Structures are given as C-alpha cells and as structure tokens.
Amino acid sequence: MTKRILAGTVVPAIIALAAAVSSCTRTEPEDGVEDSCDNCIAFYVKSLPTKAIIEDTETLNSLKPAIYVTEDLRGTEFNNTRVDYLDNGVWRSMVDWASGNVNYSFYAYTYSVGGGRIPERDSSTGTISNNGKMVTIIQPDYYVAADNVWTDFLMSYTVNASSSRPALVNLEFERVTTGVELYISASPAMENVRLNSVSFSGVIHSATFILSEPATSSDPAGSNGMKNAWRLSRDYTKVTEYEYAPEGGLQIKKFDPSGTTDGKFSYSPEYRVMYFLTVQQPTYEEAGSTPRTVQLHISYTTEENGTDVQYDVTFDLSGFSPATWTRGHKIRYYLSIDTSTELKGTIAKWEEVDFIESTLLPDDTEE
C-alpha cells in the first residue's frame, strides 16, 4: 500500500464541536497591548486541516484554523490551549520559552466546524474531551452536496523540544475521519447519459474515538498505516442513507482518455458526483439480528435509438475492495457507464496527504 502521512490532510473536512470550544483556554494579548512576542513558542504545520473538501495545500493554507496544544512535561502554560494562526504556516502562542535548558513535550489537535447546514435538520455535532484524546463524531444523517458540512478531527503526534534550542515546533497530524468519493463517467460511444440519483445506504455516521497517548513521529505505523492507536466505538443507532438526486438529473461527462496514465479511468474532479466524510466501518458486519451492509445504488437514463431507457443498479460494496473504510483513508469508487464495465482494486496518492484506496465498478477479473 502506498501511503503518505503529512501534517494534516486533504479530505472533506468539518466538525461542529461546540462543547469543545467552551472548554478550551486561549492565550492572546490584552486589549491595547501590542501583539509582539519574539521569544514566544510557535508551531509549524506542513499542511493544514480543512473546512472544505479541497485538493491542494495552497487552499489549505488559506483556511488558518486554530490548533489546541497540550504540553505534558510542564503542564502549566499549555493545557488544551488554543493557539491561533499567525502567518506563513505558523501558529504562535503568547507563551515565552523558559530560560535555560527546559524540555517540553507537545501535542495538539484541530477540528473544523461545518457550516451551510440546514438548521432544522442538523445532526452534525460532537464532543471533545481529555485534551483531544476522546472525541465523539456525529456526521450529518442526510447528504448535502457541499464541501463544508462534514465533521473532521485531526490529532498530532507528540514532539519534543527544548528551550536551549528555541525553534518552530513542527507538528504532524493524522485525521480520524474517513473520506468516501464516487466518480462516474460515460463511454464516448454512449449518448446523453443522465444520472437520476445515487446513494450509499447502511452507512454508520457516528463513533467515539479514544486515544491513550499520541504516538511520536518516529513510532512505526500500524497495519492500517496510521501511528496514533485510537480505540473506536461505533454508534449502531446512527445508520443512514446518503442520497444525491440532482433536480432534473445530472449530465454524465463522457470519459476522455487523453492525459491519463492507463487510458481507462480518471479521478479528475469533473467526474466526481458525490463525496462525504464518515467514521471507520466495515462494508459488511453482523450487527445484532440484522447484518449491516453498505450498498451503492445508481439510477441513470441513457438515450438509445432515440428513446430514453432507465437503469437501476445496486452494488453490494462488501463484495469489493476495500472491505473496511479505514480512518485516515480516502475511499474512491469509480463507475464507468458503458456496455461493459470493469473493476480493479488500485491505490493512488491523495495529493500529499493521507491514503487513497480506489475501486472500479463493477468487477472484472482481467489483469
């Protein structure tokens, strides 16, 4: 598996965690006091968490979310303390480095507050406690085709520092959420293909994550490629169907093989029709008396000999790779509408951040 873990990620991003905000302290200058602190402890993050589903570091850097920092060795100046963005990829506190040779051990978390939701239907809430080591994520229970409605949370690794060598403290983050995307294209030979609706059913949209201690950047990654070892408890009372039914249908773009490496598929944004954030979960499990399985439903219409013909197709995703939507990964499904279609498991880089696991639908055993 190809993996890239950097500071932050590029996935859909967003979390309404009002309870967390009220519990966090914040260091900032008093009114009328000049905001200058040449010896202040500052933090550097290579790429930032998001308030939207975006795909490049430049856009990420423009969002400037706050980070919440804890320091374990001294435990006084930084205890779930909010540190705001300064400039040029730097977050600066209002706390001076201690004089002499004093050791520090920092970790931080950050989250994104979703906007653009429908208030009377909003269920995207959550809680953060124990300085970010326990977080409950509740994604919306309905689908909105917007970037800023999904809950996101990222925890850094622990990093050591010393006041004898004051410098920017480099934080590296992992996210706990899972991204899911669906791409659809039509064969160049197909005429007038319109998407009527698409949905993912059987999706658990809430879980609680518990972390004993953040890992260090030098720790080995686990079997899932992640270093922070979260314990996860899914909420089986929160299972939903995310449906996207564009008014009047959505014209599916014909696939243009030019510029692709294999001439077969492309993850260009022009083919993406659906995307959301969720929590880690298998696509099939025995949950109580009724098994839970994640299914993808597609309804589309094609023009054949001058007549519109509607097709309704269901894919049981437990029959496809990956079997688990793993935290910190982005799962991509690609569907080609044609007289014949293909499925292969493949892995691609997700810009510079995280993991991507990709699948073509439906199955084809051809190598």
User: Phi and psi for 293 in degrees, rounded to 5?
Assistant: -135, 140
pLDDT for 342 equals 39
Q: What average pLDDT does the segment 190-197 reach?
A: 89
Question: Measured between alpha carbons, how far is 70 from 75 in angstroms, rounded to an integer?
Answer: 7
CA geometry: angle 184, 300, 294, nearest 5 deg: 65
pLDDT at 54 over 70: no
At 71-83, the pLDDT tens digits run 999 878 999 999 9
pLDDT-derived band of residue 16, with 50, 70 and 90 as boundaries? very low
- In percent, the amount of the chain with pLDDT more than 90 equals 36
pLDDT for 362 equals 61
Look over the chain and give the mean of its residue pLDDT values, rounded to a whole number. Answer: 76
Lowest-confidence segment of 51-65, 81-95, 183-197 by average pLDDT: 51-65
pLDDT at 3 over 70: no
pLDDT-derived band of residue 344, with 50, 70 and 90 as boundaries? very low
Tokens matching residue 326: 């793993």
pLDDT for 226 equals 86
pLDDT at 269 over 60: yes
Lowest-confidence segment of 94-108, 225-239, 323-337 by average pLDDT: 323-337
Most confident region among 19-23, 184-188, 204-208, 288-292 by mean pLDDT? 204-208
pLDDT at 23 over 80: no
At 159-179, the pLDDT tens digits run 999 999 999 999 888 888 888
Q: What average pLDDT does the segment 201-211 reach?
A: 96
Most confident region among 5-19, 125-139, 256-270 by mean pLDDT? 125-139
Q: What average pLDDT does the segment 89-117 reach?
A: 85
pLDDT-derived band of residue 255, with 50, 70 and 90 as boundaries? confident
Lowest-confidence segment of 39-43, 91-95, 146-150 by average pLDDT: 146-150
Question: Measured between alpha carbons, how far is 296 from 284 in angstroms, rounded to an integer?
Answer: 13
pLDDT at 26 over 80: no
- Could you tell me which residue, 91 or 351, shows the higher pLDDT? 91
pLDDT at 10 over 50: no
- Could you tell me which residue, 37 or 298, shows the higher pLDDT? 298
Q: What average pLDDT does the segment 274-296 reach?
A: 89
pLDDT for 68 equals 94
pLDDT at 115 over 90: no
pLDDT for 37 equals 77
pLDDT for 62 equals 55
Question: Measured between alpha carbons, how far is 233 from 202 in angstroms, rounded to an integer?
Answer: 17
